[in-house]
Structure 1
Amino acid sequence: MELKKLLEGLHYEIIKGKNDGEVKNVNYDSRKVLQGDLFVCIKGFTSDGHKFASKAIENGAKYIVCEEIVECNDDITLIKVEDSRKALAVIGSNFYENPKDKLKIIGVTGTNGKTTTAFMIKSILENAGKKVGLIGTIANYIGDEKLDTERTTPESLELHELFSKMVKENVEFCVMEISSHSLELDRVYGIRFQSGLFTNLTRDHLDFHKTFENYYKAKFKLFPRSEQSIINIDTDWGKRVVEDLEALDIKNYKTYSLKEGNIIAKDIVEHGMDTKFTVDLDGEKEEMLLPIPGNYNIYNALGAILACKNAGLKLREIKEGLKDVSVPGRCERVMKNINLPYEILIDYAHTPDGLLNILETCREFTKGRLISVFGCGGDRDKLKRPEMGDIGTRLSDIAIITSDNPRTEDEESIIEDIIKGVKEGEYIKITNRREAIKKALEIAKKDDVILIAGKGHETYQILKTGKIHFDEREVIEEILKKN
């Protein structure tokens, strides 16, 4: 691609070289650079791309985009920008011929509920005959094709490449989970969203953002970029989103709630794992069936309904798509085709609010005892550990506290941090996660519910020694077969 075309829409200064030439490829990883490439120097938390500019040139880069002047030969074109992360987003979009502008993009942000809401929207749109792409925590999808993912929201260059693939496959809608990291680090810079959806804000990622205020401000960036904002106003943070939009004189928003707002859920009735409720959307009513339990999933459904209504669907079409939705690792029934006297659920709940929600939901349909298995991740916010210890033991009849992605931290120390929060309830400490699951299965009796929380869709454990395969579905099946 011509350099001029690649730099369109970007404020830049040519420090050395000329504003022309043919660029073969774009990279921000010097190890991937080949002859004739453009290299963007990105400042990270552990490394600075400016330090690797010489390596990129050695590997064949002919064009360098930087915030700070770097040493280079006269045959190199040096392009200075104010913000190289934003520059990467603009360049990436241009390189793939701006596929973002050819898609209807729906963004979902919040601490909890992003994945479930995104899958609901995908299910509803597909049921209505739309071809849908999905970018999120579990995997990326182009229609029915599943692609592995390493992070909730890809870096901007990979994101635009993914958009490009979607456009080539005639995808009309792309549903995205938008992480606070991606907003803060400008991975989604320059994207205009058809709908931007706010689920909630609870404790998480403070190891990165440091304060709740920073965390909130990162999330809020989505909404001025959205044609319509969709906000859960049954939370204080949701109410603040509305206030801050009003302060910017932005009126294009809709609200959802169990009490007030543009869409309300009424007449809620739970039938085991199914939930029935009636939605009232600006006076239009429709009865819905949701095959996932819990009030928090009703909230997720309300947000999804508004997003799909904004996409042009009718309430009856939305109803049909919602009734068959399923989300891997979110209140997922395991071994449901085997005649067990108890229920086994796995869920991704790994925050205090997430664990509280799933345990309260399980309590509603548990006839016997509620047995929970949970832990906390290493190298993450330590203050949430005692909170989860309190919630897990208080709301379970028996809590088994174990390991969950300890990373570089000592497993025993993490568990001790969790136990510090225990105020009441019975708990068992079993460090090895496989043994903890085995213990839960051994003690379960008729009508009990076992909840294994923290990993959900994940099929691995991250230890000091690296990532190992660990699929809880497989672990459960193996233990049951041996017994």
Structure 2
Amino acid sequence: MSIRIKELISGVEYRVIQGTIETVVMEIAYDSRKTRSGSMFVCIKGYQTDGHDYIEEAVRRGAVAIVVQQSNDWKKDRLPEQITVISVLDTRIALAEIAAAFYCYPAKEMQIIGVTGTKGKTTTTYMIREGLRQAGHKTGLIGTIEVNADGAETGSFQTEIHTTPESLELQQYLRIMADAGCDSVVMEVSSQALKMHRVEGIQFTATVFTNLGEDHIGPEEHADMQEYLECKRKLFLQTEFAAGNQNDALLEEVWAQTICRKVRYMVRDGECDGQNTQMADYVAEQIEHINLQGELGISCNVSGNASGRLTLSMPGQYNISNGLAAMAVLKEMGVLDAVIFETLRTVQVPGRMEQIKLPILTGYRILVDYAHNVMSLKNSLKTLRSYQPKRIVVIFGCGGNRSKSRRMAMGQTAGKYADQVIVTTDNPRYEDPEAIMKEIEIGLLKTDVYYTMIADRKEAVYYAIEHAQTGDMILIAGKGHENYQEIRGIRYPMDDKELVRECMQMLL
């Protein structure tokens, strides 16, 4: 594909430093290592590196155009005169606009649905995607677990580090989905994506706010809760319709100064007494926990804009909240109530309170969940407690290169809501796994829980199964759908579900 620079930057305020905007560009890159002959290299600054430091390398690799940030002090005299240099106010915003232009604005060809919040994004997107599919829509999915498009070759998608891909990859995915005939795309929109302008310029048809917790405050995330909240708000400034969780005390603040059409949903139970339910458009109440034939689920009555008995084949009151969010969006998209209720009854999400089918009848249950922060771990453990197990045994660790205070809070949460804790490794990245475990232990020591420290994750799972008792629920938390463990920049194969199967075979 080839396109002139002037067409790529038509939506960007810019200044030409040298060269000409008539130059033809063959592809876009923001990583100098991926720059090829005929590329435009956009210099973006990350937490660890700054693209402006790699301009000369990009030119050596064949870049014909460079986009730089106005405030950056770089030496243009080192570049050949034929290289076009464009200065912009913010290169991340420019990258999003340039990428959209390069891929011919694919978002304008489809309905885009975005889901944001501290937890519940993945489950809610799966629910919405499946509901749209059942209603006959060809639907793409972009999120933590996968990038998938109905009718497209999924092999063309690569697993991303981010929940929401960088704007260049995002626009590429949207173009593939549009070309495959998708009329809708459901995507997780993280606060980091909003902060880093990855979805800049995309007009969303519908969006969801699930909740807001203090789990993404720290290095390489958000400076404080206010910045976190303001990043979430950005999504609702670029949407036509929004559904929000009225159970969350920060909903109205997140929605402040936004003018999109809105509906509210809420779960009404003893913990919500005193809250105003009159404004909620979707209300769930009369909750019942389902524990039949070894399967855990939950059901409730729904009233408001939709009415009926909602049954989910996954445990957790928070999943009722996710279901209401999906229901609100699907109703807005014209999906019939019967289709919505049936979809929500059957939908499953990999690694989200997923019960492992064991090869023999054991009398205990093992579940895998992505709970990797305080908010989600607390909810998962409280969910299991509502099914009245004999004991709750939780196995978890914490990721490296993340807030250290979170580790102590995770330890204290596990100690408060579980009967036994086994501390192990998650994705230590560039940190010492034993040091991470020691920081978790500080939180555990504030409780009276019995705990064990086993660094090897497989050995930790083996220990839990070996000592399991009838009536136990064993929760392996933190990695969920992930099939790797990241150590020193290398991803080694590791899948919690496979670890369970291997350990069960060893014990048979």
TM-score normalized with structure 1 length:
0.95
1:326 partner letter: Q
Q: Does 1:341 align with 2:329?
A: no
CA distance in 2, matches of 1:191, 1:426: 50
CA distance in 2, matches of 1:460, 1:399: 22
Other-structure match for 2:433 = 411
Q: Does 1:231 align with 2:241?
A: no
CA distance in 2, matches of 1:400, 1:307: 39
Deviation at residue 251 of structure 1 after TM alignment? 5.1
Instruction: For residue 285 of structure 2, give the secondary structure of its aligned residue in structure 1.
Output: strand
CA distance in 2, matches of 1:149, 1:309: 31
Q: Does 1:84 align with 2:91?
A: yes
Other-structure match for 1:255 = 264
Q: Does 1:276 align with 2:299?
A: yes
> What is the aligned counterpart of 2:177 among 166, 190, 195?
166
Other-structure match for 1:141 = 148
Instruction: For residue 307 of structure 2, give the secondary structure of its aligned residue in structure 1.
Output: strand
Instruction: For residue 443 of structure 2, give the secondary structure of its aligned residue in structure 1.
Output: coil
Q: Identify unmatched segments of 5+ residues in structure 1.
A: none
Is the 1:403–1:411 contact (alpha carbons within 8 Å) kept by the matching residues of 2? yes
Q: How does 1:98-113 map to 2 (within 5 A)?
A: 98-113=105-120
Is the 1:366–1:448 contact (alpha carbons within 8 Å) kept by the matching residues of 2? no
> What is the aligned counterpart of 2:458 among 425, 434, 437?
434
Deviation at residue 337 of structure 1 after TM alignment? 6.0
Other-structure match for 1:265 = 284
C-alpha change, 1:449 and 1:198, in structure 2 (3 Å) is same
Q: How does 1:315-394 map to 2 (within 5 A)?
A: 315-336=337-358, 338-394=360-416
133-142 vs 415-424, which moves further: 415-424
Provide, for residues 77-111 of structure 1, a one-character-per-residue CA deviation record: whole Å limited to 9, x for no partner: 22111111111111100111100111111111111
Provide, for residues 411-450 of structure 1, a one-character-per-residue CA deviation record: whole Å limited to 9, x for no partner: 2221221121221222122222111111110111222111
Other-structure match for 1:191 = 202
Instruction: For residue 13 of structure 1, give the secondary structure of its aligned residue in structure 2.
Output: strand
Other-structure match for 1:200 = 211
Q: Does 1:180 align with 2:187?
A: no
Instruction: For residue 25 of structure 2, give the secondary structure of its aligned residue in structure 1.
Output: coil
CA distance in 2, matches of 1:19, 1:115: 41
CA distance in 1, matches of 2:322, 2:62: 48
CA distance in 1, matches of 2:260, 2:185: 24
CA distance in 1, matches of 2:302, 2:122: 22
Instruction: For residue 194 of structure 1, give the secondary structure of its aligned residue in structure 2.
Output: strand
CA distance in 2, matches of 1:148, 1:440: 34
Percent of aligned positions with the same letter in both sequences? Answer: 39
Q: Does 1:473 align with 2:497?
A: yes
Deviation at residue 465 of structure 1 after TM alignment? 6.8
Deviation at residue 299 of structure 1 after TM alignment? 0.7
Q: Does 1:401 align with 2:419?
A: no
Q: Which runs of 4 or more aligned residues in structure 1 lie more than 4 Å from their structure 2 counterparts after TM superposition?
A: none
CA distance in 2, matches of 1:185, 1:155: 8
Residue-pair matches, total:
478
C-alpha change, 1:51 and 1:319, in structure 2 (3 Å) is same
71-80 vs 228-237, which moves further: 71-80
Q: How does 1:205-224 map to 2 (within 5 A)?
A: 205-207=216-218, 208-224=221-237
Q: Identify unmatched segments of 5+ residues in structure 2.
A: 269-276
Q: Does 1:241 align with 2:254?
A: yes
CA distance in 2, matches of 1:349, 1:115: 12
Q: How does 1:30-49 map to 2 (within 5 A)?
A: 30-49=32-51
Deviation at residue 116 of structure 1 after TM alignment? 0.7
CA distance in 1, matches of 2:230, 2:22: 39
Is the 1:33–1:39 contact (alpha carbons within 8 Å) kept by the matching residues of 2? yes
Instruction: For residue 302 of structure 2, give the secondary structure of its aligned residue in structure 1.
Output: strand
Is the 1:335–1:477 contact (alpha carbons within 8 Å) kept by the matching residues of 2? no
CA distance in 1, matches of 2:408, 2:88: 45
CA distance in 1, matches of 2:429, 2:82: 44
CA distance in 2, matches of 1:473, 1:238: 36
C-alpha change, 1:253 and 1:408, in structure 2 (3 Å) is same
CA distance in 2, matches of 1:378, 1:36: 38
Is the 2:396–2:426 contact (alpha carbons within 8 Å) kept by the matching residues of 1? yes
Other-structure match for 2:274 = none
134-143 vs 58-67, which moves further: 58-67
CA distance in 2, matches of 1:35, 1:482: 54
Deviation at residue 120 of structure 1 after TM alignment? 0.8
> What is the aligned counterpart of 1:14 among 8, 11, 16?
16
Is the 1:65–1:78 contact (alpha carbons within 8 Å) kept by the matching residues of 2? yes
C-alpha change, 1:411 and 1:459, in structure 2 (3 Å) is same
RMSD: 1.6
> What is the aligned counterpart of 2:26 among 2, 11, 24?
24
Provide, for residues 193-237 of structure 1, a one-character-per-residue CA deviation record: whole Å limited to 9, x for no partner: 111211111122222212111111111111111111211121122
